[in-house]
Amino acid sequence: MANIKKNDTVRILAGKDKGKSGKVLRVLVKEDKVIIENVNVYKKHQKKGPNREAGIVDKAMPIHISNVRPICPKCTQPTSFRRKELGDGKRVRYCRKCGETIA
């Protein structure tokens, strides 16, 4: 699985939303998919429930993790993150292009 976590900013590489960017809302680890804010949105017809109203709502659908690439906050380019271990044994992610450590 790619090193993508919740709240990362990612760019879409394939599909109808190719080129768009957004924040990761959820990572579905078992399915290797991510749900991204305001990307891959479909209309869903919803019945009335105890805590919701009936009507047509917009729902963000998952995208396979291979179709997204994280964006480095420093160099603002889509890149892949690598992991390295610091001297104190803590593992951190870093940008493959510029070498900046990602929190």
DSSP notation for 53-64: --EEEEEEPPEE
Is the domain of 67 the same as that of 77?
A: no
Residues 57 and 93 in one domain: no
Amino acid 23: pLDDT: 96
Q: What is the CATH number of the domain that holds 54?
A: 2.30.30.30
Residue 64 sits in the same domain as residue 83: no
Both 2 and 15 in a single domain?
yes
User: Could you give the C-alpha distances from 55 to 24, 45, 49, 98, 99, in angstroms and in order?
Assistant: 26, 6, 11, 47, 48
Quick one: 2 and 42 in the same domain? yes
pLDDT tens digit at each of 103 positions of the chain: 568 899 999 999 999 999 999 999 999 999 999 999 999 999 999 999 999 999 999 999 999 999 999 998 888 888 888 888 888 888 888 888 888 888 7
CA separation for the pair 55, 68 (Å, rounded): 31
Regarding whether 54 and 35 lie in a shared domain, the answer is: yes
* Per-residue model confidence (pLDDT) at position 98: 84
Domain count, the chain: 2
55 and 77 co-located in one domain:
no
DSSP one-letter code for 65: G
- Side-chain half-sphere of 43: how many Cα atoms within 13 Å? 4
4: containing domain: 1-71
